[in-house]
Amino acid sequence: MPKTNKPPSGVTPAKQIAGFIAKFDPEVAKLIRAARSALRRQFPTAIEQVYDNFNFLAIGFCTTERTSDCIISVAANSKGVGLSFYHGASLPDPNKILQGGGRQNRFIRLEGPETLRKPEVISMLNVAAERARTPLPEKGAGYTMIKSVSEKQRPRRDTK
């Protein structure tokens, strides 16, 4: 699967992301935008890394340009949107909200924008940021990087 980091001439990351999101059903696209906006507000100094891959559109909020320094990602496919905690397996989960059984990653399915406002989700995001290997910058503004775009992708709209 060839990947590219080069956008078409004159296309900004914001326009690229809008195009990536436009591939989804309207309800899923709305949830992606809401999650991205909420995480940008929560982590204003994070570096936003975008991967429009074969299976998912993933938008990570990271402390550095290294993907391994990702705190949280919005991961979307045709079936919905989730919050993926890059180092979720090592996070305390007193409310048992994290799903998955891998060695590293855990996730929360977003039923709607209200999921992002739940105290237990906000707490989990804060703990993930506090435990980041490299801390988020205290000052400045984050920025967006389009890390990769797969030429071949699964359908982004549900084909039930």
Give tens-digit pLDDT for 65-117. Answer: 999 999 999 999 999 999 999 999 999 999 999 999 989 999 999 999 999 99
Which residues form the domain of 66? Answer: 3-150
Of the candidates 18, 127, 35, the one whose C-alpha atom is nearest the C-alpha of residue 76 is: 35
Number of helical (H) and strand (E) elements in the chain, helices listed first: 3, 7
Instruction: Let me know: does 93 contact 83? Beta carbons within 8 Å.
Output: no
Does the residue 159 lie in any domain? no
User: What length does the chain have?
Assistant: 160
Nearest-angstrom CA–CA distance, 107 and 62: 16
Residue at 160 is within a domain: no
Does 107 fall in a domain?
yes
How do residues 19-63 score in pLDDT, each as one tens digit?
Answer: 999 999 999 999 999 999 999 999 999 999 999 988 899 999 999
Q: Which DSSP symbol is given to 84?
A: E
In this prediction, residues 146-158 reach a mean pLDDT of: 78
Question: How many domains does the structure of the chain reveal?
Answer: 1
Does residue 1 register a pLDDT over 50? no
